[in-house]
Structure 1
Amino acid sequence: MLMMAAVALPSWGQAKKVEIVGNPSVKDDQVTIRIKVKSIEDRPVMGLQDTNFKLIVDNKELPFKTKDWKSPEESIPPPAWIIVLIDFSGSMNMRDSRGTKKITGAINAIRQVTKVLGERGGNTQISIVPFGEPGTNCRGYAVNQETLNKFFAANDFKLKNYLDYLANVTPCASTNLYEPLRKAMRFLANAEDTRFYVPENSPQPQPRLSIILLSDGYHNATNEKEDFETLTTLLKRNSNITVHTLGYGLTPEQLGRKYNLGKPATRGDIGVGAKKVPEAEFVDQKRLAEIARLTGGIAEFSGDAEAIAQNLQLFLNALLGEYEITYTQPNADRGSRHNVQVVVTDKANQAVKSSAKPYMITVFGRSLPLTVRTIMVVCILSAIAFGGVLPFYYWGKHLKQEALGD
């Protein structure tokens, strides 16, 4: 559906930025690079073909075969750790624009995404964390080290069981939007955790770290502005962690029309009475967009469960949607240094070039195949046998006969 949308909306297929992600992977004389393509709207450009890519190695175009190119759907995703913060405030019991209970729509959307991830393979670990402040007859949903650390592989049956459990829980809390996000950021920012931060001398790639914040409300604390400033500092300090935000409900424009405000709804319009927006219906689209922008993430707004699932898939494409090209390095000499660039021609026939990425060949080209090495060993042993052992044997036999003759 996202690919169809990219065709329907030309700007989605128009490349703005091409990036070679991480460092090129070098094995013998084989080099593999992963490429991320973003649109003008800073969304991942999907649906490109191998003919849209041109490889530039050491400032010269290097042809590659179609079989050596992989789309994001074909390539194995890079390792990733994803925390999904899901709002469990009482308003999640309300119905969305299509009549589905919001919490049911959100859980079902997460199921669809985990199913897709499980089919793609790779090492993607997901933690689903409900959040909400306690209130009257509600104990709330705490966000701490224990709840954040419940990671499951996308195809783990334990994740399915946990989603089944959450689907039967009735949300009842109030929304504290910033504190759960702050705790999740600090959890993933722990540089001593080797799951999230691979040692520099390790051959393993650095995993992708991301938080998906799904909420149908707003931060209702009295000191909202100060809380947001504190959160902003933390988000800027940890630029390697991407936060995608997803608002679930009516947009400020829709709320303005529904309650005859004559303008898009703001926090000041929340209240009771004529021309006021009920607290349970207001979603802070502005703050959610600011949070995503500060981390290079995507902010989306959905009014129904179907759109929620599409946007979650969009977030995963932004995080894991990378093209892959493998090629043979020409004249691969040990210790030789090279650089690679990629040029992508998008659907609008616009060419965008990536920055150059350096790499080094660490061995003398490709190692010989096993059959060739076996033949070489047999030949060497044969040469030793016929050139050394046999002559020595006959020479010793000759000396023995001469000694007996004397």
Structure 2
Amino acid sequence: MNKLKIIAFSTLLALFPFPALSTSLEIYRVTTKQDKVTLRVKVLDDERVPIAGLNKNDFKITTTNAQGNSVRLSPSQITLLSSEQSKPDPAKLVMLLDMSGSMKNEDSGGTKKLDGAVGGVREFINEVRGDNWDVRISLVPFGEGCKNSFTVNESIIDKNFSPSWSPDLNLELDKLAKVDVCAATNIYQPLDEAVKYLGNLQQNPNDKLPPPRLAVILLSDGYDVVNDRSDESERFDKLLEVFQQYPKVTVHTMGYGEKLKELRDRIGCRLSDNELTVDNLKKCRSDIKNIHEFIVDEPRLKQIAEATGGINAFPANAAAVADTLRKFLSTLREYEIEYEQPGARRSGNYEVTVSVNSPSRRLTNVRSDPKPYRLDTFDYIALPLSERLPILGSILMLGLGTMIPFIWWSKQLKDSSFRDLNS
């Protein structure tokens, strides 16, 4: 039976479009206005972290003309805004904060984990404020089974949303920092609620802004203990199905603490790498009585991020928590490339491919998939001067050709009327 479960689980994972473990380039969005085309482009490293610092000469743009022939644009034909210069899209973020009892333990730097988490989130919010981004944030603590439990549902997520500039976020962080943490970790149910809430958001049809980015940031220093993990595999499979239903929601995961191998070596456990799982590590003999409080479900957190195209990180101390949140923040930025469509015609269908070559960043011919687009039927497209001059000349000749016969005919009528009066 266990073998059948493993086969079923592997089959389900194969259905998800996991990102390739290499540098990737994606045209996130194409917009057009008259004959101007604007691309939003992501360049990601093998951990899905955006690569900054590329310049115009690093990019090659290949589009098509009205006849469908490929046209390579020179650097002088494009305008580039770096990922630091371009204005990020609006965003809605749900930040799930683990409030389990293990968060009272110290991290590798000697900081209480709860303090490190709250401090990192505070820095994150301050950076968003400093850049004046249009970001709404819902701070959602989770944990169950004690006097200081935190229920998570879509109503609570919605109620906790505030714009990044709101002082309510600071007040909520102040409250969380004072909690006497005691709960048990329940990862999957809060994630399920957060993804469904964001995935079901409806955009105002009259809103001219691009749709908001939707992301969940999960910070946990533990593993899901619901039902004593008797049905953990089945509940994880159901969570993957939710991810598949709401593909526009990205989940970034942060495991705050030691990786499984680090903890195994620290306690002298004799598990091999192949045997190293959360459940097996719990059974290891150790001088540490509360060893379960130091176990972080590294494999599951990584699988969650990969299944949604998010970033997975494993900060060991408070400073690394803040740095990791900056990485998550960088995913809201892209390069913005603008060019004038060669041979533009209204209602024309075109295609664009972007590639990057940057020896200094060790990027060689990293290519996007082709992206089709269409120029707006109702937009006015200015013709080049070389085409406008002949048209203007034709109009003038046509006007003169019409006016001269009219003037002659009018003169003839006047002369004829004058002769009739004198006769």
Q: Which range, TM-score by smaller chain?
A: 0.7 to 0.9
CA distance in 1: counterparts of 2:162 and 2:251, whole angstroms: 19
Contact 1:333 1:364 in 2 (8 A): no
Query: Does 1:98 find its partner at 2:112?
Result: no
Q: 1:269 to 1:333 in 2, by over 3 A?
A: closer
How many residues get paired?
347
Write the deviation string for residues 356-385 of structure 1: whole angstroms up to 9, x where unpaired: 222222222259xxxxxxxxxxxxxxxxxx
1:115: which partner in 2? 126
Q: Give 1:169 deviation, angstroms.
A: 2.5
Q: Give 1:181 deviation, angstroms.
A: 0.8
Query: Does 1:326 find its partner at 2:319?
Result: no
1:364: which partner in 2? 380
Contact 2:148 2:179 in 1 (8 A): no
1:173: which partner in 2? 183
Give the letter for the 1:289 counterpart.
Answer: K
Query: Does 1:262 find its partner at 2:270?
Result: yes
CA distance in 1: counterparts of 2:312 and 2:293, whole angstroms: 21
1:33: which partner in 2? 39
Q: Secondary structure at the match of 1:350?
A: strand
Write the deviation string for residues 90-123 of structure 1: whole angstroms up to 9, x where unpaired: 1111111101111111111112222222233332
Give the letter for the 1:364 counterpart.
Answer: Y
1:400: which partner in 2? none
Q: How does 1:39-188 map to 2 (within 5 A)?
A: 39-58=45-64, 59-64=70-75, 68-135=79-146, 138-149=147-158, 150-188=160-198
Contact 1:246 1:299 in 2 (8 A): yes
Query: Does 1:295 find its partner at 2:308?
Result: yes
2:232: which partner in 1? 224
CA distance in 2: counterparts of 1:33 and 1:67, whole angstroms: 11
1:339 to 351, 355, 366: 351
**Over aligned residue pairs, what C-alpha RMSD do you find?**
2.6
Percent identity over the alignment?
36
Q: Secondary structure at the match of 2:23?
A: strand
Contact 1:134 1:141 in 2 (8 A): no
Contact 2:56 2:75 in 1 (8 A): no
Write the deviation string for residues 17-49 of structure 1: whole angstroms up to 9, x where unpaired: 211102x11122222110001223433222222
1:314 to 311, 327, 332: 327
Q: 1:335 to 1:236 in 2, by over 3 A?
A: closer
Q: Give 1:353 deviation, angstroms.
A: 1.8
Contact 1:92 1:103 in 2 (8 A): yes
Give the letter for the 1:357 counterpart.
Answer: K
1:352: which partner in 2? 366
Q: Give 1:66 deviation, angstroms.
A: 9.7
Contact 1:37 1:45 in 2 (8 A): yes
1:16 to 5, 17, 23: 23
CA distance in 2: counterparts of 1:95 and 1:274, whole angstroms: 19
Contact 1:143 1:183 in 2 (8 A): yes
1:372: which partner in 2? none
Write the deviation string for residues 262-301 of structure 1: whole angstroms up to 9, x where unpaired: 3456322325853676111111111111111221222111
Q: Secondary structure at the match of 2:84?
A: coil
Give the letter for the 2:24 counterpart.
Answer: K
Q: 1:295 to 1:15 in 2, by over 3 A?
A: closer
Give the letter for the 1:142 counterpart.
Answer: T
Query: Does 1:286 find its partner at 2:302?
Result: no
Give the letter for the 1:328 counterpart.
Answer: E
Contact 2:41 2:336 in 1 (8 A): yes
CA distance in 2: counterparts of 1:139 and 1:256, whole angstroms: 30
Give the letter for the 1:306 counterpart.
Answer: A
Q: Give 1:15 deviation, angstroms.
A: 6.8
Contact 1:248 1:283 in 2 (8 A): yes
1:398: which partner in 2? none
Contact 2:259 2:298 in 1 (8 A): yes
Contact 1:260 1:275 in 2 (8 A): no
1:240: which partner in 2? 248
Q: Give 1:349 deviation, angstroms.
A: 4.7
Contact 2:356 2:363 in 1 (8 A): no
Contact 1:16 1:352 in 2 (8 A): yes
CA distance in 2: counterparts of 1:140 and 1:259, whole angstroms: 30
Q: Secondary structure at the match of 2:247?
A: coil
Structure 1 residue ranges without an equivalent (≥5): 1-13, 368-406
Contact 2:148 2:180 in 1 (8 A): no
Q: Secondary structure at the match of 1:68?
A: strand
Contact 1:253 1:265 in 2 (8 A): no
CA distance in 1: counterparts of 2:56 and 2:40, whole angstroms: 13
More off after superposition, 211-220 vs 267-276: 267-276
Q: Secondary structure at the match of 1:112?
A: helix
Q: Give 1:251 deviation, angstroms.
A: 1.1
Q: Secondary structure at the match of 1:302?
A: coil
Query: Does 1:213 find its partner at 2:213?
Result: no
Contact 1:252 1:283 in 2 (8 A): yes
Q: Give 1:69 deviation, angstroms.
A: 1.1
State TM-score, norm by structure 1.
Answer: 0.78
Write the deviation string for residues 229-285 of structure 1: whole angstroms up to 9, x where unpaired: 221222222222111111001111111122110345632232585367611111111
CA distance in 2: counterparts of 1:112 and 1:43, whole angstroms: 19
CA distance in 1: counterparts of 2:166 and 2:173, whole angstroms: 11
CA distance in 1: counterparts of 2:77 and 2:89, whole angstroms: 21
1:382: which partner in 2? none
